[in-house]
Structure 1
Amino acid sequence: MLDRSSKAGGSRVARALAAAGVVATLAAAHLAAPVPAGAAVSRSQLALRWAPIHYQDVDATGTHALGGRSDYIARIDFDGDLNGRNNWDRAGQTGTSLAAHVYYSVVETSTHWYITYLFFHPRDWADHPFFETEHENDGEGVLFAIERDGSTYGVLRAAVTVAHSDFYSYTPAGSTWTDGRENIDGALQFQASPHDAFEHPVTAQEAQGHGLKAYPQYAINGDGLVYYPSTVAETPSDGNDRDVRYRLVDIFAADGLWAQRSTPSLFAGLGTFAGDASGDCGSGTWSCSTNSANAPWGWDDGNDVPARGEIASDPAKLSAEYFTIPGGVARTYTYNPYASAAAALAEAARTAPRTVD
């Protein structure tokens, strides 16, 4: 499951090439191959098309920041194993890879595609002693709802992001979706990528706690990274690298995250990553909590109607609750691997204690 691709100072090289006037040529060479006319788009192509350009604020202050590396996104097995209880310590060790990866899942109805993206950090950390809790592992993300309008990739109508234990909803300019049970929190912006031919939605995460919202509700404040969707994984050259490509990883792959959902070294419960208080987690801060990060089927806004995990496992329901949608949405799934465990998910959501990410 490992990919140890690295960037080797790519952002500095890119700036030098820009000065020489050759960046446009390089960008053209990296354009995503178009889908042939009339061909059905694959789920991986859909995920790559709509994957966000992602702004990550970086804080290098304090020992828990690891010089900014604690704010780099990574694979869950960045250290070579599927043990969630050693990630805090190994994030600071040499020989581990913080090459950029983002997890995704696609579920389908006859009217919409729903794509969930998970951004993982080995640490949720703080740099001051008062009122802040750290924990091992951190999983935040976003759901995109895409209408199947007959075009190759459809049209993106709305997004719901995960910032700790709260969800925030957004619509792009021109969307037909409006306020539902929840008020829309802002506009979803788009930005052209230098690595393909598309404009992508733009998301952002804060440093330390890594809450995720639509850009610029979070933004880079000083040092920061700009991640671009791609088919390769790059490691930032430093904490202020503005061109880092990330690789997508399918949650539903044969050996993927969903297949590992009952692995006790990785999950303490359904949708809850295993994490302990080893090492210096909590040292100099308020505390270090355990088992406090979630996979998409564990995400929850406890004040809202959708149950725990339904942002990923039943996104049509969540969309119908959050938005007013002309014509509604189909509620029967034509593809939804989460549904194979729907009863277990529902029971676990009903009985599980609330976790804070």
Structure 2
Amino acid sequence: MKPIRASLLAIALTAVFASPAHAATDAQLAAHWAPVHHQDTDSSDYDADYLSTVDFDGDWNALNNWESQDDSLARLTGAAYYSVVETGTHWFLVYSYFHPRDWDDSPDPFGQRTHENDMEGLLLTVRKDGSAFGKLEAAVTVAHSDFYSYVPAGSSFTGGQENVDGTLLLVNGHPATRQEAKGHGLYAWDGKNFPGGDGVVYSPTGVGEVPSGGNDRQVGYRLIDTFAPGGLWARRNNAETYASLGTFRGDNGKDNAANTAWGWDDQNDGAVLRGFMASDPALLVSTYFANEGDFSRTYVRNAYR
């Protein structure tokens, strides 16, 4: 075989093996990597820890969600919002989990520990390795005003400007997360039982279900596109839902204290600014981690921009 023809064949074979087996849609990517989610519950008010949607009560008025939370438990169907942005080397998937209340079982007369609406979540970094769904390499979770970094077994990623806080466990191929009762800080699951022995395990079945009680270990949840028409992002400038960009309205407990993914912020991570987990995840990941290998920060598409 002539050298030129051999070179062309090598290039063609490289292109074949570098291309995905099929082009997965964002919805398929999100479903493939959606976490098995361990939601701790508190026995003083189990259903206040059930997942739901921002419009669970049939409207987008964020000022009535606290009051509506316990009107009808049938409306508290499991759900998570997702978004996907993409560079030449990676997909970045954000999952956001919503609760109508960030609550406490003791009085909060000065509104310092509780607030209406609560959204916390995580960022997954998935390498485009030529397979349909890529290779999971890292996760960063949101717990109040702190972010936590994790890597699954086999990842080359190590700590960068932030330490790696632990190993990201997988359950049936899905990353496993855990979320606190009441305040709903979100972390990687540690493989242990719930602190008080009771909690809800949500699995991404595609169907949103209501837990049968505070210790239901088989509850389905559905995924909702953050960028859907008329949805979270489309309404980002709507004063019925938001007090300011990335911040929900709320008047129970501390006013206007809950944020969307484009409002999440770690309190001490320097140049990674508010909202970058959604709008510039490549910068966040390249700052938090080292040994990323081939890693592009140029977006092929990013609807947050």
Q: TM-score, normalised by structure 2?
A: 0.89
Distance 2:242 2:66 in 1: 15
Q: C-alpha offsets along residues 62-97 of structure 1, whole Å, 9 cap, x if unaligned?
A: xxx2xx110001011000000100000000113760
Q: Which sections of structure 2, spanning at least 5 residues, go unmatched?
A: 1-19
Structure 2 SS opposite 1:39: coil
Aligned to 1:77: 55
Aligned to 2:262: 297
Equivalent runs, 1:57-72 vs 2, <5 Å:
57-61=40-44, 65=45, 68-72=46-50
Per the TM alignment, residue 326 of structure 1 is displaced from its structure 2 partner at its CA by 3.7
- What residue identity is the alignment partner of 2:48? S
- RMSD across aligned C-alpha pairs, in angstroms? 1.6
Aligned to 1:136: 116
Per the TM alignment, residue 38 of structure 1 is displaced from its structure 2 partner at its CA by 3.0
- What residue identity is the alignment partner of 1:104? Y
Aligned to 1:48: 31
Distance 2:161 2:72 in 1: 48
The answer (yes or no) to whether the contact 2:73–2:210 under 8 Å persists in 1 is no
Distance 1:39 1:189 in 2: 27
Equivalent runs, 1:90-105 vs 2, <5 Å:
90-94=68-72, 97-105=75-83
Equivalent runs, 1:1-357 vs 2, <5 Å:
38-61=21-44, 65=45, 68-94=46-72, 97-129=75-107, 133-192=113-172, 199-216=173-190, 220-221=194-195, 222-277=197-252, 288-304=253-269, 305-339=271-305
Per the TM alignment, residue 185 of structure 1 is displaced from its structure 2 partner at its CA by 0.3
Q: Which sections of structure 1, spanning at least 5 residues, go unmatched?
A: 1-36, 193-198, 278-287, 340-357
The answer (yes or no) to whether the contact 1:53–1:226 under 8 Å persists in 2 is yes
Structure 1 SS opposite 2:123: strand
Per the TM alignment, residue 238 of structure 1 is displaced from its structure 2 partner at its CA by 1.1
Aligned to 2:3: none
Q: C-alpha offsets along residues 239-297 of structure 1, whole Å, 9 cap, x if unaligned?
A: 111000000000011122100101111100000011012xxxxxxxxxx1010000000
The answer (yes or no) to whether the contact 2:286–2:292 under 8 Å persists in 1 is no
Distance 2:38 2:32 in 1: 17
Q: Tell me: CA distance 1:212–1:269, structure 2 relative to 1, closer, same or farther (3 Å).
A: same
Distance 1:318 1:312 in 2: 9
Distance 2:107 2:92 in 1: 40
Q: Tell me: CA distance 1:83–1:96, structure 2 relative to 1, closer, same or farther (3 Å).
A: farther
The answer (yes or no) to whether the contact 1:104–1:118 under 8 Å persists in 2 is yes
The answer (yes or no) to whether the contact 1:142–1:161 under 8 Å persists in 2 is yes
Distance 1:38 1:160 in 2: 28
- What residue identity is the alignment partner of 1:89? E
Distance 2:280 2:63 in 1: 29
Identity, in percent, stands at 53
Distance 1:52 1:209 in 2: 19
Per the TM alignment, residue 220 of structure 1 is displaced from its structure 2 partner at its CA by 1.5
Per the TM alignment, residue 219 of structure 1 is displaced from its structure 2 partner at its CA by 5.3
The answer (yes or no) to whether the contact 1:204–1:218 under 8 Å persists in 2 is no
Distance 1:218 1:210 in 2: 17
Deviates more, 1:95-104 or 1:222-231: 95-104
Distance 1:295 1:78 in 2: 16
Distance 1:165 1:271 in 2: 14
